[in-house]
Amino acid sequence: MQPSYLRPTYIEVDQQAIYHNVHEEKKRLNPETALFAVVKADAYGHGLVPVARVCQEAGATGFCVATIDEALALRAAQIAAPILVLGITSPQAAPIAAAQNIALAVGDQDWLTMATPLLKAVPDCPQLKLHFATDTGMGRIGFTDVDALKAAAAFVKASAYLTLEGIFTHFATADEKDTTYFEKQVAKFKVLLNALPERPKYVHVANSATSLWHEACQCNMIRFGVAIYGLNPSGSTLAAPYELQPALSLYSELVFVKQIHVGDSVSYGATYTAKNDEWIGTIPIGYADGWLRRMSGMSVLIKGKRCPIVGRVCMDQVMVRMPEKFAVGEKVTLIGHDEDDEITLQEVADYAQTIHYEIACGLHDRIPRHYLPKRED
């Protein structure tokens, strides 16, 4: 989608906050533990390449992404650090991953069998780095059986085109108070890990939630994700061990202001009808930007005052009820601080009955990202 640079709606990304969050986590780790910054989904909506660069400055030693296209975008930006693609990649992409020094997650031996002849067909092809995904209870991707894992490890060991760089799992409940299921997954991972005849370079189970609240099991790498962006993985269930500084704010401005009268209606379906004379402001953001239709009734901040969205959210515009007449051009805060008040991503997510991950990732690239510079200490 084409970014709308001439529209007054924009996202502000605080690079100092990102630096702070990564640096604080890095300080808690053993010096031997690698921190791979998870920058998938355009860095959770914050901007892939700018976020990756700040993470490197803060001490990240590598990156995790969801797709090989995201990995290639990092390489195109001259980022040479290790990259792991967490999702399953088509075997057809194995040669380009090898050529670009991109590690791929693999969850079964069939993938290895299909990728090998494709690698063999490329003259002087580098070895493809692999991380074995293990399914210990997430039910998504990965080896579940010791024998299958050992057979795949033997296949890689005998191959001139493959090398096993890592093994990992993903926890389903690391952000919950009840650790029963988490501990069950840990136990299963230990069984699978100990079945390998040789321990690979990287062993990793820790996402943001695991790193913040649990002791990692026999691991030397973490996948630091949503906490990079100052978002608590548990929402508000568990307190973070250090201050997480939110990095994303969302702003716009009033483009139209009018007074409506008793009985006048607003937006599609005429679902909102004024019971009094009211001031209505129009803001140029809508569900095409990721501001969901279910945000109707959610407040925005104008001059420090909460103004609820009235009527249905349109594709490109929303209307708000204002306590008084505000001028066209007045700043509108949808996420962030305004005077003594703040609307957080968590508040927006709670209102929309979802998680803050979805709100951040759903803010479309039609909204330009503006980057506040990191402080030079």
Instruction: Confirm whether residue 1 is marked as ligand binding.
Output: no
From 19, 40, 44, 251, the catalytic residue: 40
For residue 371, the SS3 value is strand
Instruction: Confirm whether residue 315 is marked as ligand binding.
Output: yes
Helix residue ranges, H only, the chain? 15-28, 40-45, 48-58, 68-76, 94-99, 109-120, 146-157, 180-195, 208-213, 345-352, 356-362
Residue 233 tokens, joined: 């993985």
Indicate if 40 belongs to the active site.
yes
CA proximity to 172, closest of 183, 161, 162: 183
Q: How far apart are CA 224 and CA 230, in angstroms?
A: 11
Residue 98 tokens, joined: 């090898």
Q: How far apart are CA 179 and CA 163, in angstroms?
A: 34
Q: How far apart are CA 252 and CA 338, in angstroms?
A: 12
For residue 205, the SS3 value is strand
From 157, 258, 268, 325, the catalytic residue: 268
Greatest Cα pair distance, the chain, in angstroms, is: 79
End-to-end C-alpha distance for the chain, whole angstroms: 37
For residue 278, the SS3 value is strand
Q: How far apart are CA 274 and CA 319, in angstroms?
A: 13
In the block, residue with structure tokens 């953001």: 285
Give the other-Cβ count within 10 Å of 44's Cβ. 24
Write the DSSP symbol of residue 334: E
Give the other-Cβ count within 10 Å of 97's Cβ. 23
Write the secondary structure of 124-188 as one string of H (helix), E (strand) and C (coil).
Answer: CCCCEEEEEEECCCCCCCCECCHHHHHHHHHHHHCCCCEEEEEEECCCCCCCCCCCHHHHHHHHH
Q: How far apart are CA 295 and CA 286, in angstroms?
A: 10
Give the other-Cβ count within 10 Å of 323's Cβ. 12
Indicate if 374 belongs to the active site.
no
Numbered residues of the known binding site: 140, 315
Which residues belong to the annotated binding site for substrate?
A: 140, 315
As annotated, the active-site residues are: 40, 268
